Amino acid sequence: MTQGPDLSVEALDEAAAALELERLAAEICYHDRRYHGEDAPEVSDADYDALVRRNREIELRFPALVRSDSPSKRLGAPVASGFAKVRHAVPMLSLGNAFGDADLREFFARLHRFLGQDGAAAERVVAEPKIDGLSVSLRYEAGAFVKGATRGDGSEGEDITANLRSLEEVPERLEGKAPVVLEVRGEAYMTKSDFQIINARQEAAGLKVFANPRNAAAGSLRQLDAAITAQRPLRLFAYAWGTLSGRPEDLLGDTHWQALQRLKAWGFVVNPLSRLCQNQEDALAAYRAIAALRTDLNYDIDGVVFKVDRLDLQARLGFVSRAPRWAIAHKFPAEQAVTKLEDIAIQVGRTGALTPVATLTPVTVGGVVVSRATLHNEDEIKRKDIRIGDSVVVQRAGDVIPQAVSVLLDKRPADSTPFVFPTHCPCSLSTPVVREQDGAIARCSGALACPHQQVEKLRHFASRGAFDIEGLGEKNIKAFFDRGLIATPDEIFTLAARDSEAAEPLVSWKGWQKRSVRKLFAAIEARRRISLQRFIYALGIRQVGEATAKLLARRYRSLAGWYTAMLQAADERAAAPETGKAEEVGEAYAALCDIDQIGLSVADDLCRFFQEPHNLAVLERLEAALEVEDAAQSDEGGAPVAGKTLVFTGSLKRMTRSEAKARAEALGAKVAGSVSKRTDYVVVGADAGSKAAKAQALGVAVLSEDDWLRLIGETA
């Protein structure tokens, strides 16, 4: 039997190949531990790469011999067509922010208002440093790591399983007894010292250096060749969980603090600075203590996250929009720097809003080079008296857009003059700028004819929270628009067909190759199926953000249902333009206004969108090109209130009104803000007022709090 590391792969027989793969697995694992876990590599990068390459070549020749602990499974292989998408069974939501002690106190006050008499118990919170890294999800089945993904947009991320396997702090198997299914959430990051080493390597190789450790970590995890990721020293702190087979209290304990200890027992690293706080004052003290350590830490943090400790209270509090009610990120104060304001440019957004943006002499703020900053609007420029040529204080907090805070008047040039805000849009049409009554926003009156608005609407349509089409960023959209390839969203989905017949196909453009063209068209095709919520948000209707799109999807369920209802509401609004009472406009319009958190202003913007023939034509073409999924029914669709419309009024005793609304929505009910003949139940508490009287006048069923609890199967 021929064997040995000196033999060529071609000279190995099957038995020798099996022994060689065993040797390579052990040797590569050893060097991984020395490099990633101990920062003490014993071989050069070239020698290490040779081991990995030999292992891969043997596996390609003898695929039946691939081991369960193969380095190729841990290191990964090049992916030719980008990352696969992973749908999060439990969304990875963002956090609300607090920027001062008053904001944190208001967070606790909201807990009290929502939970009523149990609010005091929610003051017991866990404080965790907010790591400035990349959020990831790790799925374990029967204790074995099977899939890893980025957070993405919270609902869907990218499959980076192979890359995550290279992190020493991602256990291949959980220690001790593990759940059948466990999804762990954590933050991948790079230490400051490792960041310096990586940048030194990049610079020595003539490659682009990273701006900060977070960018280095994110760029490393999103390498298509996981072997590159394995060469980058990444680490991970575990902090939460998603999917769990079984009851959290049985597997994790009754509190978040106990759950963190359980994660450590399974083999994860939990941030050692995390601490349990008994009340508001203890939480504020923890914030100050962690902030004082910030500069001495070997990793970046940008705040402290506070989470309600009791898991049963977390479940009751639930979520609002895209964030949990039971957690908040108390951010550190913004970092500032002084630089020169060289010019003021005017950007036109997708709704026609004109936003002044400062062009700055590049300056480093919070580890990031800043060359542009928002000036907000015309009134802010006047209030701060910001002028071209001024020396300005610029600040940046976390991922917030840099902003010009103030002017250093003692450094102002003698010949400076006040900035004059344009009266006409900078677009090619030069249409007049209008300001809404009592509003600070100036808008181009050119509407959809304005090319700036068209480009911005296209960019929004393809953005992460909407269709999330990889490769259709601002630069490419602008290029396609300027060349007449894409003018409306529906033309995105005919681009490939038209390109195949074009005199100058995309592959002939500068900067494009066959592979990048294929990737773009594949990304577009992958988004022909989309949720109703994302579809509504992607249309860029004024005042319809992600939260409002979710409300509309939940209420109307299907594209056909929403489309028909909006057309009817738009017709009713057009016929009654002067009235301010929804019920006097028409049934469909009133039903739209009935949706909790949607008022007359949002309803009117929806109606304006559906009153424009151009928009309807685009919608019809999109409907023909796409498969828009119906909104998911509640998991408790069999509940007696599923599909019913409820209104809550007055003060409840067993739970707060906010908690009652959240519970109703979780059971599949629709919660409205006003009573109408479409209302199924009105739940009244003490001091119910006019809504209870109106319900009786309309013959709507009125329930006491005890009636409500009995109806949903809870003990009154």
The amino acid at residue 61 is: R
Q: Give whole-number Cα distances, 641 to 412, 551, 554, 575, 666, in Å.
A: 65, 17, 14, 34, 10
Q: What are phi and psi of 677, to 5 degrees?
A: -70, -10
Q: Give the C-alpha separation, 425 to 431, whole Å.
A: 5
Q: Give the C-alpha separation, 194 to 160, whole Å.
A: 21
How many helical (H) and strand (E) elements, i.e. helices and strands, does the chain have? Answer: 27, 26
Structure tokens at 47: 């020698």
Residues 6+ apart with CB under 8 A from 206: none
- Which residues carry out catalysis? 130
Q: Give whole-number Cα distances, 303 to 220, 293, 309, 313, in Å.
A: 23, 11, 18, 24
Q: Tokens 């995550």 identify what position?
A: 164
Q: Are 358 and 392 in contact (CB under 8 A)?
A: yes
Q: Give whole-number Cα distances, 665 to 307, 562, 637, 661, 672, in Å.
A: 23, 19, 11, 6, 11
H or E element at residue 537 = helix 532-538
Q: What angle do CA 492, 498, 502 make, to 5 degrees?
A: 130
Q: Give the C-alpha separation, 214 to 133, whole Å.
A: 5
H or E element at residue 348 = strand 335-348
What are the beta bridge partners of residue 184?
138, 241
Q: Give whole-number Cα distances, 119 to 313, 317, 527, 536, in Å.
A: 9, 10, 43, 36
Q: Give the C-alpha separation, 674 to 655, whole Å.
A: 20
Please report the DSSP string for 633-646 in residue order. PPTTTTSTTTT-EE
Q: What are phi and psi of 567, to 5 degrees?
A: -60, -45
* Parallel, antiparallel or unpaired: strands 391-396 and 403-407: antiparallel
Angle between helices 213-221 and 192-204 (to 10 degrees): 70
What are the beta bridge partners of residue 96?
328
Q: Are 452 and 426 in contact (CB under 8 A)?
A: yes
* Other C-beta atoms lying within 10 Å of the C-beta of residue 169: 17
Strand ranges (E), 1-42: none
Three-state DSSP at 548 gives helix
Q: What are phi and psi of 627, to 5 degrees?
A: -115, 105
Q: Are 228 and 162 in contact (CB under 8 A)?
A: no
